[in-house]
Amino acid sequence: MLNCDQAGRLCREFTSLDEREIARIEEVSRQLQLIADLSGANVFVDCQMKGSTNAIVVAEASPSSGGTLYHEPYVGTVVYEQFEPSVFLSQRTGKSVLFNKAVTQRGIFVKQSVAPIKNDHGEVIGMLIKEEQDSESKVSQKMKSLSPATEMLWELFFFTDHDRPALSDIMKEHFILIDSSLRIVYANPSAKSFITEVFNFEDCEGRPAAHVLPFIEPVIQSKKDLVIEEVQVAGFFLEVKKVVIYKNDHVTGMLILIRDVTDLRMKERELVVKSVMIREIHHRVKNNLQTVASLLRLQIRKGVSEESKGYLTDSLNRVLSIASVYEIILSGDDGDNDQVDIVSLSNKIAAMLIQNHGSEHATLELKCEGESMFVDSKKAVSIALIVNELVQNAIKHAFHHRSSGTISVQFESRGDEVTLSVADDGTGMGKTAKRSLGLDIVKNLIEHDLSGEYYIGSSVEGTTVIVSFSLGKEG
């Protein structure tokens, strides 16, 4: 039984694979019948579904000899990790899982082997699965051990007396058993209470399930042995699970488990609203900072004295450095994420300062090095201002009587400890150099906001400022 022709269509409809990857899946699917015949086993190709943690069977083949485990097609079936852990382990690790004992979603004991299917970049795009029935003696032994276990579980779930309740009686989930005629034969107290409250049925047992609970009709009519769906009914968000019950290869009924996930979904909605609000706040902060920057630029152009122009330009750069934090936050897909890459941020600020330093200065080159490091926006603002002041000082004072120069900004980390180094190859700080407002700002930010320390070293070969702080410490 080979259904590989549907592989491409299912991949395009349910996965995020590109055409080249789909062609690879189709190529493997065309070999399934040969693999099934050689191994005498059922063979499948599963692919990860887009926007989901589940997978879908896109192709299958069974031995031509007829020795198949399954009499109903599996193509198009959704695969869940709780039932097929080896499949998802192979997908995550990119490694084969061989001869693993498993119980399939249809309740069959098998020996399961899984091999990852990879694209040209070595990324897992699908899983090749081989399933063969476990040896008869072992299955028989397993079934014998299951017989008393099944009786124990049945008694635990459904048997009750005056001294102790059944487990199903104290479950919060709505637990419903349906017979082969699709009538309710058992509902636990939680389910009965829900049915009475929402659908006004005092006695649901013996009634058609679809009549009592209309929203589960698509679930119980589904040909799949296992179904997990979420529905919204009368203001409730409900997760509905169906498991078909077999006896001697015949359907004898099904188990319906309904879980109220309303609180979870409402919290998710609150998080979405909060996310939108945070993004809006970030937008407003950035826009307000840009407004302040525009006012400062306007003031600078209005013919102020050179001394005042310098002070206003310094203030403008500080405002733009803070605004850069929010520009980086908003440039990401997740605008409510408060984490900022300080290496990228510093590169952005230093490049802006060098670009705007003016033609009367030397031609400057920027080197910004370090692996990505993420901090919250509060720390990012402090680091942005520190980098701004240190680079600005280098631009102003390091390259007098020089035609060119280099400023380097470097980050290194060891665990939570971070070292920021801002260096130039300029003329160095003279002995008569006075402490500036910029260095006072740097000192206060490092000591109070970052709980860190700093060192300034200078020679005729240039000046280096080293800032040390911990990502874990709060100022």
Type of residue numbered 247? K
pLDDT category at 359 given cuts 50, 70, 90 is: very low
- Residue, of 318 and 165, whose pLDDT is higher: 318
Average pLDDT for 102-128: 84
pLDDT at 109: 73
Is the confidence at residue 58, as pLDDT, over 90?
yes
Kind of pairing, strands 124-133 and 42-48? antiparallel
pLDDT at 144: 45
Sign for the pseudo-dihedral over CA of 293, 294, 297, 303: negative
Is the confidence at residue 370, as pLDDT, over 80?
yes
pLDDT category at 49 given cuts 50, 70, 90 is: very high
Is the confidence at residue 71, as pLDDT, over 70?
yes
Average pLDDT for 379-397: 89
- Indicate the range of 193-197, 354-358, 467-471 predicted with least confidence: 354-358
Q: Are the beta carbons of 392 and 370 closer than 8 angstroms?
A: no
Instruction: Check: pTM over 0.75? Answer yes or no.
Output: no
pLDDT at 385: 92
Cα→Cα distances 149→61, 143, 152, 156, 367, Å: 34, 10, 5, 10, 69
pLDDT at 44: 93
3-state secondary structure 348-403: HHHHHHHHCCCCCCCEEEEEEECCCCEEEHHHHHHHHHHHHHHHHHHHHHCCCCCC
Q: Are the beta carbons of 132 and 110 closer than 8 angstroms?
A: yes
User: Residue 374 is encoded by which pair of tokens?
Assistant: 């993420």
User: Residue 377 is encoded by which pair of tokens?
Assistant: 């926006």
Average pLDDT for 336-346: 83
Top-ranked range on mean pLDDT: pick from 77-81, 206-210, 438-442:
206-210
Q: Encode 242-274: b = buried (16+ Cβ within 10 Å), e = exposed.
A: bbbbeeeeeeebbebbbbbeeeebeeeeeeeee
Percent of residues, the chain, with pLDDT higher than 90 = 15
Is the confidence at residue 328, as pLDDT, over 60?
yes
Tell me the sheet residues that pair with 462.
Answer: 459
Average pLDDT across the chain, whole number: 82
pLDDT category at 103 given cuts 50, 70, 90 is: low
Ramachandran angles phi, psi of 328, nearest 5°: -65, -40
- Residue, of 438 and 130, whose pLDDT is higher: 130
pLDDT category at 146 given cuts 50, 70, 90 is: very low
Average pLDDT for 356-376: 78
- Residue, of 52 and 157, whose pLDDT is higher: 52
pLDDT category at 396 given cuts 50, 70, 90 is: confident
- Residue, of 332 and 92, whose pLDDT is higher: 92
pLDDT category at 16 given cuts 50, 70, 90 is: very high
User: Residue 433 is encoded by which pair of tokens?
Assistant: 């150099």
CA 379-382-388 angle, to 5 degrees, is: 140
Q: What is the pLDDT of residues 272-304, one digit of tens each?
A: 788 778 778 878 888 888 899 888 888 888 877
Q: Are the beta carbons of 42 and 69 closer than 8 angstroms?
A: yes
- Indicate the range of 141-155, 204-218, 266-280, 300-314 predicted with least confidence: 141-155
